[in-house]
Amino acid sequence: MESNHKSHPGYVSYIIVWVALLALTSITVTIAGINLGNYTLIIAMLIAAIKSMLVINIFMHIKYEDAIFKVFLALSGLTLLIIFILTFFDFIYR
Amino acid sequence: MTHNHDTAAVHHVHRDDVGARMGMWLFLFTEVLLFGGLFLIYAVYRFQYADQFRIAGLELNTGIGALNTIILLSSSLTVALSITALQKGNKFLSLVFLYATQVFAVLFMINKYFEWSAKISHGIFPGSEEMLNKHNGEILFYGLYYIMTGLHGLHVIIGMIIIGVVMVFIKNDKITSESYVKLENAGLYWHLVDLIWIFLFPLFYLIQ
């Protein structure tokens, strides 16, 4: 029974994460209004990555799950990354 | 005798919450690959038609996109809060949070409806005469816009149905403070819908 019940964050930490997510959203909208050329996309994707880490770790409880969950997550992320890299190798050097 | 039998039965209830959550995560990975393929198509064509994607992207309403981002992030918060409420044994509060999630989801879909109908009334939809006169890059941008936000919207609707079922389960004590993995898994699905939107928003609405 012990493994069926994991300790999770309480109300306050969820609300802190929510405020952080809203702050990051307003930052990404503000930065999109400034002309930074090619950096705009990189910064927007970086902020989106930080936001997803917050959602995955806290809201989706990955931080509190067994190591095997993190291994699976890393493997699926890596698979996606490899697919992107291989496709762009083909696209750029065609 | 009867008492002993009951105790034995309770000990043999087959239950593996970790396994149930792992199953849900494996399903979510297939969803990531489904959307990943679409993001890949988007990435390749954006590099090929950078200028036309920018022109087409300026047509989208950043305000509605930002509002929908705030709505979805808030709906993710209420799902997370509802799990905590149930863990603490507060069934009523848990249902209130899930109800709030449903309200957010409806607001999201209403925004989406107005956004799409505005586009369609301007003649911007796949196969329209207005679209066919545009450049290839713009046609691709709007094709991907409709497919990706449409598939995402479909996931919002499915998520609403799942959360609705979970709410009935909580009401009928099928999901309790002792056994709530169904609520957790419904929450995981909802957070995935939120995650996908986190990437859709800057890619479609914040092009400059």
| ipTM value | 0.91
- Cβ separation A91–B47 shorter than 8 A: yes
CB B126 within 8 A of CB B145: no
Q: Which of A29, A20, A77 is nearest to B73 (CA)?
A: A20
Partner A, chain B 16-75, Cβ-Cβ below 8 Å: 16-18, 21-22, 25-26, 29, 32-33, 36, 40, 43-44, 47-48, 62, 66, 69-70, 73-74
Q: What's the whole-number average pLDDT of chain A?
A: 90
The phi-psi region of residue A37 (left if phi > 0; otherwise alpha if psi is between -120 and 50; otherwise beta) is left
Partner B, chain A 21-80, Cβ-Cβ below 8 Å: 21-22, 25, 28-29, 32-33, 35, 40, 44-45, 47-48, 51-52, 55-56, 58-61, 65-66, 68-69, 72-73, 76, 79-80
pLDDT band for position B1 (cuts 50, 70, 90)? very low
> What per-residue confidence (pLDDT) applies to B118?
94
pLDDT band for position A36 (cuts 50, 70, 90)? confident
Phi and psi, residue A66, nearest 5°: -65, 160
Once rounded to an integer, what is the mean pLDDT over residues A24-33? 93
> What per-residue confidence (pLDDT) applies to B153?
97
CB A64 within 8 A of CB A19: no
How is chain A split among helix, strand and coil, in percent rounded to 5?
A: 80, 0, 20
Once rounded to an integer, what is the mean pLDDT over residues B120-126? 91
Q: Which of B111, B134, B102, B105 is nearest to B63 (CA)?
A: B111
Residue B85: partners with Cβ closer than 8 Å, 6 or more residues away: B91, B93, B94, B96, B97
**What pTM does this model have?**
0.91
The phi-psi region of residue B89 (left if phi > 0; otherwise alpha if psi is between -120 and 50; otherwise beta) is left
To probe the interface with B, which of A3, A43, A52, A59 has the most B CB atoms within 10 Å?
A59
Residue A3 has pLDDT above 60, yes or no: no
> What per-residue confidence (pLDDT) applies to A1?
40
Residues of chain A contacting residue B43, judged by C-beta atoms under 8 Å apart: 84, 87-88
Residue B3 has pLDDT above 60, yes or no: no
CA distances from B74 to A66, B63, B80, B88, B144 (A): 27, 17, 10, 21, 26
> What per-residue confidence (pLDDT) applies to A94?
82
Whole-angstrom distance, CA of residue A38 vs CA of residue A7? 43
